Amino acid sequence: MEKKLTHFDTKGNAVMVDVGDKDVTTRTAVATGKIRVNEAVMKAVMAGTVKKGDVLGVARVAGIMAVKQTAGLIPMCHTLFISKCSIEFEINKEEMEIKVICAATAEGKTGVEMEALTGVSVTLLTIYDMCKAIDKRMEMNEIHLETKSGGKSGDFAR
């Protein structure tokens, strides 16, 4: 069964989806992504010696702020009242990767997948920005939705 695309009107113009008739439910989403760094960046981040400051602390705040501003960045996203947001990090020194996990929750008529994905993306970009003086070859990758719950379409787990 082919899903009907709801972001276009009958003339093919992009529109914001009408969620007026949807029920308010608790919506959650978790997204992840990674940044691959070199040894110098990893050591500086872990030792807290990056000249711009506490990389992971600043990146966490940037990611949370981004979650709250998603509707201002992604044209057809609805403005949501975020009731909870967290940014966590998993450091893999062997692979020289920092994994970012963003979880977002809202009570609303539409999901928070874009918010979680935006949070991960901006967190990764902030790590890059704060460490680019050490190495500009860092790579951000594997940004994706892990889980989502709530709403008419039900739960999703990657």
Q: Which residues are tagged catalytic?
A: 129
End-to-end, the C-alpha distance of the chain in Å comes to 21
Sequence letter at residue 91:
I
Q: Look up tokens 């935006």; give the residue.
A: 118
CB contact set of 27 (below 8 Å; sequence gap of 6+): 105, 106, 107, 108, 110, 111, 112, 148, 149, 150, 151
Question: Which residues are 101's β-sheet partners?
Answer: 32, 88
Any idea of the CA torsion for 107, 149, 98, 46, to the nearest 10 degrees?
50
